[in-house]
Amino acid sequence: MISISPFLPALTLGLGGMLLLVLGVSARRVALQAANGGAMLVLLCAAAATLAAPDGVLFNGLLKTTLFTRFADTLIYIGAFAALVLSFDFNRKEGIGRFEYPVLVLFAVLGMVVMVSANDLMSLYVGFELQSLALYIAAALARDSLRSTEAGLKYFVLGALASGLLLYGISLTYGFTGTTSFPAIAGLLGGAVPTGALVGLTFVVVGLAFKISAAPFHMWTPDVYEGAPTSVSALFGTAPKAAAFALFLSVLTGPFGPLLKEWQPLIVILAVLSMALGAIAAIVQTNIKRLLAYSSIGHMGYALIGFAAGTAAGYQASLIYVALYVVMSAGAFACVIAFRRNGRAVETIADLAGLAAERPGLALGLAIFMWAMAGIPPLSGFFGKLYVFLAAIDAGLLPLAIIGVLTSVIGAFYYLRVIKVMYFDAGQPGFDRASPGVNFIIGLGAVVTVLFIAAPSPLISAASAAARALMG
Amino acid sequence: MNLAGFPILSLITWLPLAGVFYIATLKGAEADIACHVRKAALLTSLVPLALGVWLWSQFNPAVAGFQFNEAYAWLPGLAVTYKVGIDGISLVLVLLTLFITPIAILSAQGITTRVRAFFSAVLLLESFTVAMFTATDFLVFYIFFEAVLLPMYLLIGVWGGPRRVYAALKFFLFTLFGSLFMLVALVWIWRNLGTTDIATLLHTPIPAGAQMWLFVAFLVAFGVKAAVWPLHTWLPDAYGEAPIPGTILLAAVLSKMGAYGFLRFAVPMLPNAVQQAEPLMFTLGVVAVIYISLVALAQTDVKRLIAYSSVAHMGVIIIGIFTFTVEGIEGALVQMLSHGLIIAGLFVATGVLAARGEGLAMNRLGGLARNMPGFAVLLMLFSLANMGLPGTSGFIGEILVIVGALKVNFWVSLLGGAGMVLGCAYMLVMVRAVLFDKHSSAAVAAFTDLKASEYAALIPLAVLVLWVGIYPASFTHLLDAPVAALVQTHTAALASHTQLAMVFSK
């Protein structure tokens, strides 16, 4: 008799999603509100179940839940919940208020939860595809908009390529080790390493790097962020990033753990390229969603620094970084959603001129997120960078830390530009008031970002416990 | 926990935040609440000042180390505690900050747009600055050293003059670039000595080989902030473009952060490197004094002239610090205090002129002694103090630095002292152009004398300038113990190093 309780969160998400689907089809008039409220409720229940869930290995070793997976799950719920709150008002105003969206979010979250707790290459791939497919549809949610459908299609085509690469990597690994179970693969790779497994490892890394949009596999990110409805971009910028990063960590430290020396250089390359590209390419952007896309590429680079260190302290640093980034990113997207002039969404940076004079709270919110992303103390982003750089230095990756410091100075320039436009430039009045939900997310995100310095220990201790659980 | 029995330093540091919250939550149209916001800000800045004065009365000047210590568990895993405490050096600078902030708020009568944000930024700046001066952990120090940038960037950029955007960006990037070097040095020290606790670091020798590059890193970081020539180029722009209260805070308080950094970190932790760098620092100081004084002489705008005069006086402070004598360092500290008071007085006076609405170009003013006698007396007092006239605070600082320098090098002393002569030249040019001469226009002749709020800002500064000038012991007795300890450790560290070298050479 196995206990089902470690699987309860996933079960809640799956059943909840299907229930809402039935409800949405049968009760058309109240479908949107019911689906949104229901989806939030399901997420909360799943989060509660996750916090109460014990460690466990399920279904003959297909899934494994630990402190690490619960940490990642919590981040996913936070990101998805924020994205749902943000989408509610925005989707209605943009005429895309369909009840399918919250349902898709739930299925995407289910996929993420499954892939994060995967303990077998097969369950990994199933979870991975479930979240990907749900997100492809979400990107094309505004199906009458050329930009949105183009974004959805681009995401789908490139995503399918990445899935193909991942699957190829998985099949090579299976072919050369004869098993798909994580512990078994790790055991076999501990001895003589077949070359085919190394090729498989490379393909797996590429497939996952695509999902976290690490350079040079980032090409889809700016287009999709820009083209997708902003509420969907807000989702892309938070939950899937955290999930894919956690999966990346668990795959490379789990089955490929013995190959640390082989994958470490790959992660270093990804980190350097992402940081450099994120910092330099963002300078010329004029659209704030594209700017946030490049910024997210850069941030994944910083998070990968801790990963590349290959130590418990490094993984801890990466988890801290990703957690802080999810909050900042949700807050920044909430600000973008709040920018509306005379009923129309504003997306170019130049249009933000004069925001501080008219909506000081909103401008302060975005300024806080921008400064935090730039890594200026005393805001939370600084501590994320501090932890990853220290971990890198302790692991003997001093050049990586130096590159990180340099790119963050370059990056500070474009974050500062957004603040400059909001605060210093005179602009036309006419900004609309944001809805309470959006204001709530901005306020909460800003408070967490600002006050992290006062109480850093809960997150840091949790990340430390998660990193230890990851190392086994 | 500490002498006071309650966390007095944290209270002083974070009390202004209460004002920020109060101001930020005020509702109403800008014009209606402006007066209320101003009063609230002033009141919030006066309470920490009162607490600071009480702290001063409770402070034990015989102790060289940190007092009123507080420590809170902070970053787990990194073994960093949030630690604060003060010694005589930081107490003087904390008092200066607490005193200057209400003055700056009083002089902000001209700010009428986005008042809530403005006074919030000023109070935030006060909190961060005090947090930095009281930090006894290197990481905490670094965080607030950088954090000061955020409110200051907005103060310059939003409420500044015509070239404010350029000035704000230049200020931000210069300082960010500089503090990056400090971050590198900080991480190196942290990883190699295993701690960021300043009290421990002071007693942990750093290998002589690493000292030189650490010093270069500190020099860039603190030199930018202290506007040491040639890292000062951001300063005339920032001072010139910032709104008057921002300029006052920049010149009186923020510029002291760099000099404080030299005293707190570079001098005690890197004895060999600072000794080697002494000629370099003397040169930089002397160049600042002479060259920048000449530049000041060429200015046509009152505000920029005072800005350059400020850089010149920072040169004196640098010379004083790097004499490594009790007189020199104590002189530098008195000069920091005195410069803070005088420069604040001069900028408040500039603000008075700006508020009269005829601009700050010297050729468009003149003859103000006739219609603004009160103003003329006070401006004259601050100008004389800036020249280092005996009886004013400026004299005490400069004479101590000159005496300290004389012990080390005659020429440095002579050339540094030349600054006093050049100071007379440009200050008297300014005084003549503004107060004497003929009225350049009817509008200038119609200027009214100081208002109550302007007196309220200038009189306390004038009183303190005279107080420090006439009875400096009230402040120097705070500095005696820590400065003596500083000089002693420096000499001892050098002696042990020389002995070691002799042992090896045998």
pLDDT confidence of residue B501: 61
Please tell me the distance from the alpha carbon of residue A418 to that of residue A403, in angstroms, as a whole number: 24
pLDDT confidence of residue A1: 47
Q: Which of A313-327, B226-240, B270-284, B345-359 has the highest mean pLDDT?
A: A313-327
**Mean pLDDT in residue range B209-235:** 86
Which candidate from B157, B183, B184 shows the least CB-CB separation from A420?
B157
Instruction: Compute φ and ψ for B361, nearest 5 degrees.
Output: -70, 135
User: CB–CB of A123/A96 below 8 Å?
Assistant: no
Torsion sign over Cα A117, A120, A121, A122:
negative
Chain A interface includes B332 (CB < 8 A): no
Nearest CA in chain B to A394: B191
**Mean pLDDT in residue range B253-274:** 89
Q: What is the residue type of B411? A: W
Please name the residues in contact with A37: beta carbons below 8 A apart, sequence gap of 6 or more.
none
- pLDDT tens for residues B280-317? 989 988 888 888 889 888 888 888 899 888 888 888 89
Please tell me the distance from the alpha carbon of residue A262 to that of residue A202, in angstroms, as a whole number: 9
Please tell me the distance from the alpha carbon of residue B153 to that of residue A420, in angstroms, as a whole number: 10
Q: Which residue has the tokens 């890197």?
A: B270
Residue B349 has pLDDT above 50, yes or no: yes
> Do B117 and A460 lie within an 8 Å CB cutoff?
no
Residue B1 has pLDDT above 50, yes or no: no
Residue B2 placed within a domain: no
Nearest CA in chain B to A450: B147
Residue B260 placed within a domain: yes
Average pLDDT, chain B: 87
Residue B500 has pLDDT above 80, yes or no: no
Q: Which residue has the tokens 């940038």?
A: B149
Please name the residues in contact with B39: beta carbons below 8 A apart, sequence gap of 6 or more.
none
Residue B3 has pLDDT above 60, yes or no: no
Which candidate from A376, A394, A424 shows the least CB-CB separation from B158?
A424
Residue closest to A411 by CA, chosen among A290, A291, A278: A278
Residue closest to B330 by CA, chosen among B388, B403, B387: B403
Share of chain B above pLDDT 70, in %: 97
Provide the pLDDT confidence category of residue B503 given band limits of 50, 70 and 90.
low
Question: What part of A 364-393 touches B (C-beta under 8 Å)?
Answer: 364, 371, 376-378, 382-383, 387, 389-390, 393
State whether residue B439 is helix, strand or coil: coil
**Mean pLDDT in residue range B489-495:** 84
Disruptive mutation site among B139, B144, B152, B183 for chain A (greatest number of A CBs within 10 Å)? B183
The domains of chain A are located at 5-471
pLDDT confidence of residue B338: 93
Disruptive mutation site among B153, B171, B195 for chain A (greatest number of A CBs within 10 Å)? B153
Nearest CA in chain B to A379: B147
Share of chain B above pLDDT 90, in %: 23
Chain A interface includes B500 (CB < 8 A): no
Residue B504 has pLDDT above 70, yes or no: no
User: How close A23 gets to chain B, by Cα (Å)?
Assistant: 43
Residue B253 has pLDDT above 80, yes or no: yes
Chain A residues inside the 8 Å CB shell of B221 = none
pLDDT confidence of residue B332: 92
Instruction: Compute φ and ψ for A304, nearest 5 degrees.
Output: -70, -20
> Do A383 and B75 lie within an 8 Å CB cutoff?
yes
Strands B67-75 and B80-86: antiparallel
- Domain enclosing residue B385, as ranges: 8-505
> Do A456 and B74 lie within an 8 Å CB cutoff?
yes
Nearest CA in chain A to B156: A424
User: How close B419 gets to chain A, by Cα (Å)?
Assistant: 37
> Do B154 and A457 lie within an 8 Å CB cutoff?
no
Residue B172 has pLDDT above 50, yes or no: yes
**Mean pLDDT in residue range B455-475:** 91
So what's the ipTM on this one? 0.88
Instruction: Compute φ and ψ for A118, nearest 5 degrees.
Output: -60, 140
> Do A423 and B75 lie within an 8 Å CB cutoff?
no
Chain B residues inside the 8 Å CB shell of A378 = 128, 143-144, 146-147
**Overall number of domains in chain B:** 1
User: How close A402 gets to chain B, by Cα (Å)?
Assistant: 9
Chain B residues inside the 8 Å CB shell of A356 = 114, 117, 158
Structure tokens, B128 = 């961060």
Which candidate from A424, A456, A464 shows the least CB-CB separation from B165?
A424
User: How close A256 gets to chain B, by Cα (Å)?
Assistant: 27
Nearest CA in chain A to B29: A358
Other C-beta atoms lying within 10 Å of the C-beta of residue B454: 21
Which stretches in chain A have pLDDT values below 70?
1-2
User: How close A51 gets to chain B, by Cα (Å)?
Assistant: 22
Instruction: Compute φ and ψ for B389, nearest 5 degrees.
Output: -70, 135
Angle between helix axes B138-147 and B149-159 (nearest 10 degrees) is 10
